[in-house]
Amino acid sequence: AGKRRRAALPPGKGKRARSGPSAAGAEAAPGGAPQEYSIPPPVSQGKWKNKERVLIFSSRGINFRTRHLMQDLRTLMPHSKADTKMDRKDQLFVINEVCEMKNCSKCIFFEAKKKQDLYMWLSNTPRGPSAKFLVQNVHTLAELKMTGNCLRGSRPLLSFDPIFDKEPHYALLKELFIQIFSTPQYHPKSQPFVDHVFTFTVTDERIWFWNYQIIEEDASLVEIGPRFVLNLIKIFQGSFGGPTLYENPHYQSPNMHRRLVRLSVAAKFREKQHVKEVQKEKKKASKVLVQEDPTEVVFETPAEEKAVEIQLVKPESKPVVKDKKKLRKIQRKKRKKLFRTE
């Protein structure tokens, strides 16, 4: 069967020819047909070699702030993957199998305990090493509401404190941070731009994480979040376990901190009670008599002795009257009688 032919279009209503950015000044090809243009290839034609993938997920029982922080890290790291929450009863070494199924070589695991303490695991699966941190002072992107903004999927610069090159355990953490937080070059989901900085600063034996945007006009930095503090607990040789490589001597568990706070409050209360008891004992104690001063007798003058009067007649009893008005009337009558008799 013959194919159905299109009807002849009127002149001037044909299909528009594709034209590139310089189509206006293009010359017509010989024969009267317009020259064809192709879309230029992307700027970076490199090969994606560093295929690091990071699995970011958590255990059950996290609060809303932890959930938002986890979502912010997934947004800032285009090479990350997500997974369902892990049950509390499961052992931590099960995460290595989950990473293998997800084809991930790094892992960020948020572990919640007592619905108030948050721990973060950074691990190189499946051989290690791994580090456990206590997360404090969490501020998410939605909570900070900063004025800055960065391109989604752009590659960050990593800025480290000079102390990371002096101490051996900080040097190990620096390499772990570089492999986890740096976006691989030529990643399919990343953008070929560098417009924000991840800073890791050591202050008060803790690692402070900030995210800043690079402003092109004056090369200044504007914080965009998220922001949190990592208190190092231990560094293990294996992934989520194994021999301990380093243990932080300055670390204090949240349970111990809460216990010390309660003890300090109780000590203040006991001190107040002790002060009250001491004051009561002072009031009850016998007063010490001060010895008489012999010089006080000089100023004493003897009083005149009065004659003793003996009353032989029994005094009249006063009538008990409750009403004062009646009492006054009786007194007036008595005075009148006395006056008449006189």
3-class SS of residue 328: helix
Give the class (CATH, top level) of 54-257. Answer: alpha beta
Check if the beta carbon of residue 140 is closer than 8 Å to that of residue 209.
Answer: no
CB-CB neighbours of 207 under 10 Å: 21
For the chain, the structural domain boundaries read: 54-257
Q: How many CA atoms lie within 13 A of 185 on its CB side?
A: 6
Burial of 251 (0-12, 13-18, 19+ CB in 10 A): middle
DSSP states of 257-307 as a string? HHHHHHHHHHHHHHHHHHHHHHHHHHHHSPPPPPPPPGGGGGG--PPPPPP
Per-residue pLDDT of the chain (342 residues; tens, 9 = 90+): 455 555 544 555 544 544 444 444 444 444 555 667 776 655 556 788 888 899 999 999 899 999 999 999 999 999 999 999 998 888 898 999 999 999 999 999 999 998 889 999 999 988 889 999 999 999 998 888 877 788 888 999 999 999 999 999 999 999 999 999 999 988 888 888 888 999 999 999 999 999 999 987 777 888 988 999 999 999 999 999 999 999 999 999 999 999 999 999 999 999 999 999 999 888 887 777 777 777 877 877 877 888 888 888 888 877 665 677 777 888 888 888 888 887
Tokens standing for residue 221: 């930095």
3-state helix, strand, coil in the chain (%, to 5): 30, 25, 45
Residue 18, pLDDT score? 46
Can you tell me the distance from the alpha carbon of 150 to that of 118, in angstroms, rounded to the nearest whole number?
Answer: 27
Dihedral sign for Cα 331, 335, 341, 342, please. Answer: positive
Task: Tell me the one-letter amino acid at 244.
Answer: T
